[in-house]
Amino acid sequence: MKNGLPLAIDVVEAPASKIDAVDFENLVFGNVFTDHMMMCDYEDGEWQTPRIQPYGPIQLEPSAKVFHYGQAIFEGMKAFKDDEDQVWLFRPEANIDRFNRSSVRLAIPEFPKEVFLEGLETLLNLDRDWIKQGFGSSLYIRPFVIATEPGVSASPSKNYKFMIICSPAKAYYSGEVRVVFAEQFSRAANGGVGFAKAAGNYGAQFYPTNLAKQEGFQQIVWTDASTHEYLEEAGTMNIFFRVGDKLLTAPISDRILDGITRKSVIALAEEFKVPVEVRRVTVKEIVEAAEKGELKEMFGAGTAATINPIKGFGYQGKRYELPEQENSYASFFKTKLMEIQYNKAEDKFGWRYLV
């Protein structure tokens, strides 16, 4: 951004596409990347001219601050293709706003929204063929910023690299999902970075999640760090509980991510008159509801995972299985959301963005 004006984007196209080597029917989430990526450097106190170039390795000094202090944030977005081959983003401005809120918390300069969108649209147009039609197929978009200044003094970097890479996607979880409620470890604390998509929030979950996996759970539902009495967020998703006909989810806070799928589900619940309560949810009430047979469903909501039903949970060494649900809320909201994302239903909320 020079003198407050958006910059032109330099584009170098890949000499050949890798697309023919990709098995789109058997995609593993996040393993394959499209032909191009977007990149923009922050130097001398401003964002320089953005570039789009062939996807490939980048070079960094070993002392780059991102390696030492984890000064890095990211987003997750998706693009969808409708039956007429039009490409749509879902609520991209909400992602960009959150990207910049995360940046501010990590002392990273904000990235200009209009350059972000213009660059992303250019990138998506170049890699359009990588977006496949059909419910469940999408292009997962991963924008991120890393601190690139060499030097190991513990202070904010003066230089950054903004990038967007894209990966064709189907499901995030390949099998059934069961979760365990956290009793010992914590994801986020008051006044911390839990609300931000800070890279370290995710890295710090790997060890406890590995322990949970050894017990047969795919994810942890994080509880509040001070008492472990309140259910907050699952590792890669916000979480909803259906008790009777009522849908419950925790309010956002400085510990909980302001999930875009989460707030879309809440808006759809209000539209379709599904009773929804956004309030603190206790471990005790959910365990008791499960014991009385009143806990009908749990599901996660996130960009990567979309809406993912949760089959059961563990707490204090006990396991609870949830009943198979006909007409589940999870599948209702997933369908409603996809109909909007794939341009099959009216977009009352103005969530779709044509590329």
Residues lying near ligand COI in the complex (CB under 6 A): 76, 202, 236, 302-305
| Beta bridge pairs of residue 295 | 243
What whole-number distance in Å separates Cα of residue 300 and Cα of residue 239? 4
Q: 346 to each of 250, 303, 342, 352, how far by Cα in Å? A: 28, 21, 10, 10
From the list 151, 157, 159, the residue with the least C-alpha distance to 48 is: 159
User: What is the nearest approach in angstroms of ligand COI to the Cβ of residue 42?
Assistant: 23
User: What is the nearest approach in angstroms of ligand COI to the Cβ of residue 303?
Assistant: 4
The helix-helix angle for 260-271 and 92-105 (nearest 10°) equals 140
**DSSP conformation class of 18:** -
Chain residue at closest Cβ approach to ligand COI: 76
Considering beta carbons, is residue 1 or 305 the nearer one to ligand COI? 305
User: What is the nearest approach in angstroms of ligand COI to the Cβ of residue 305?
Assistant: 6
User: What is the nearest approach in angstroms of ligand COI to the Cβ of residue 94?
Assistant: 12
User: What is the nearest approach in angstroms of ligand COI to the Cβ of residue 318?
Assistant: 28
224's enclosing H/E stretch is: none
> What DSSP assignment string belongs to 128-157?
GGGSPBSTT-EEEEEEEEEE--B--SSS--
Q: Checking DSSP bridges between strand 87-90 and strand 178-181, what pairing results, if any? A: unpaired
What is the total residue count of the chain?
A: 355
User: What is the nearest approach in angstroms of ligand COI to the Cβ of residue 258?
Assistant: 12
φ, ψ (nearest 5 deg) of residue 338: -65, -35
Contacts for 26 with CB less than 8 Å, ≥ 6 apart: none
User: What is the nearest approach in angstroms of ligand COI to the Cβ of residue 30?
Assistant: 7
Considering beta carbons, is residue 76 or 208 the nearer one to ligand COI? 76
Name the burial class of residue 39, with classes exposed (0-12), middle (13-18) and buried (19+) by CB atoms within 10 angstroms of its CB: middle
